[in-house]
Structure 1
Amino acid sequence: MSTEYFIVLGVVGVAFFAVSGALLGHDKSINGFGIVVVGVMTALGGGTLRDLLLGKPIFWVETSEYLLATYSAIFATVLFIRYMPSPSNFYFILIDTIGLAIFNVIGIEKALISGTGMIVALTMGMTTGIFGGLMRDVVCREVPYVMRGDVYASACFAGGLTYAALFALDIPYIWCILGSISVTVLMRIASLHWGVKVDLFRKRTPRPN
């Protein structure tokens, strides 16, 4: 992926996650600078952990466009909330899901560029996508999506597998990206629509004698 593509995708990703953080902060009655803190944490947390694990310069320190996109998205969200005080929860879910899908791809790409194998890249994609939202939910005293049994981390992983499959087939990067994002978003939204849960450790109901 070219540097321009990478930066554009990253800027879009941090903007979506910044909006999701600000929306949840508003829903939890966080005011003032707290909204900014939650938005920044959500937007930059996953990528910061990724870069630390990969031993790379922190992305928002190296390129200021990420910070500008984060603050701009938070400011736009605050204005939106002032004129539409009770945004539907669907907006939050959709924005968070798109941010998750984009950050997943960025994490995979950055890991591959750093010379890791695909399994490490898939793990790094999930880390990038999930960690910011995990921090957001903990700070806002919410049970994180990834721990509720929702199709969240699994949607992220499915998007990563889609990327890996297309990459192995030597499909152009843009289609690897679009395929991965589409699978993650559609799988997450569809699971919410039909109420699908991932209950790996659900106890089996004993059969009556």
Structure 2
Amino acid sequence: MPTFVQILDFIGTFAFAISGIRLASAKRFDWFGAYVVGLATAIGGGTIRDVLLDVTPGWMTDPIYLICTGLALVWVICFGRWLIRLNNTFFIFDTIGLALFTVVGVGKSIALGYPFWVAIIMGSITGAAGGVIRDVFINEIPLIFRKEIYAMACVVGGIAYWICNLAGMESYACQLIGGSAVFLTRILAVKYHICLPILKGGEEPEE
């Protein structure tokens, strides 16, 4: 039977893969190109995290991540028109993936004995790095470099997870509260147009 963390990881993989494939379809990618974008979105952050933590990336030992991405591609192919009509589809799936992957990254780092600040950074990388790779692949400015709150939501969720862990709460409760913190931070930031200050002090070079 899969553990609770594995279930979160699989759901996050599916959600992130759909967000990547959905954007690839908007850019008129073919099926293989869309699969590659979805896979990079789903495993990119976790791969970078695992390399930094000196462990073997999960997709290299378990094909479920490749299968999840394939199922996400089939889902978008079958329900693509319905998904396109839902303007918030990308945002919802991306936010779900962001929340789930953040808590998986934080939990894995803590389980390996790393200090909390490393766990928060690893959680943020797990949640946000896949989206950066996706945006680069589809030739868009990555979300974390725009004024929208994205990676900062991962930091908020990581801190919430750490506080719950310090309080002696069970791991699943830490994951639930940490993931909810990421999800709510992202939702509220977009709904109420909350953003970080834009760095000023220079002008764009003339072409």
- TM-score, normalised by the number of residues in structure 1: 0.91
Q: Which amino acid aligns with 1:93?
A: F
Match of 1:124 among 122, 125, 134: 122
| Residue-pair matches, total | 201
Deviations 1:4-63 (A, max 9, x none): 122111111111100000011111222231111110110111111111111101101112
Q: Which amino acid aligns with 1:47?
A: G
CA contact (8 A) 2:4 2:172 kept: no
**CA RMSD after TM alignment:** 1.6
Distance 1:197 1:7, change over 3 A: same
**Identical counterparts, % of pairs:** 34
Q: Which amino acid aligns with 1:150?
A: E
Q: Which amino acid aligns with 2:82?
A: M
1:61 aligns to what?
A: 60
In the TM superposition, what are the counterparts of 1:1-209 in structure 2 within 5 Å? 4-81=3-80, 83-84=81-82, 86-199=84-197, 201-202=199-200
Determine helix, strand or coil for the equivalent of 2:168. coil
Tell me by how many angstroms 1:78 deviates: 1.8
CA contact (8 A) 1:118 1:164 kept: yes
What is the alpha-carbon distance in structure 2 between the residues aligned to residue 178 and residue 85 of structure 1?
27
Tell me by how many angstroms 1:68 deviates: 1.6
Return 5+ residue gaps in structure 2 as ranges.
202-207
Q: Which amino acid aligns with 1:124?
A: M
What is the alpha-carbon distance in structure 2 between the residues aligned to residue 172 and residue 41 of structure 1?
32
CA contact (8 A) 2:51 2:57 kept: yes
Q: Which amino acid aligns with 1:77?
A: V
Runs of 4+ in 1 over 3 A off after TM superposition: none
Tell me by how many angstroms 1:187 deviates: 1.1
What is the alpha-carbon distance in structure 1 between the residues aligned to residue 181 and residue 113 of structure 2?
25
What is the alpha-carbon distance in structure 2 between the residues aligned to residue 146 and residue 5 of structure 1?
28
Tell me by how many angstroms 1:197 deviates: 1.4
Determine helix, strand or coil for the equivalent of 1:41. helix
Q: Which amino acid aligns with 1:157?
A: V
What is the alpha-carbon distance in structure 2 between the residues aligned to residue 174 and residue 85 of structure 1?
31
- After the TM superposition, which of the residue ranges 122-131 and 63-72 deviates more from structure 2? 63-72
Tell me by how many angstroms 1:87 deviates: 3.2
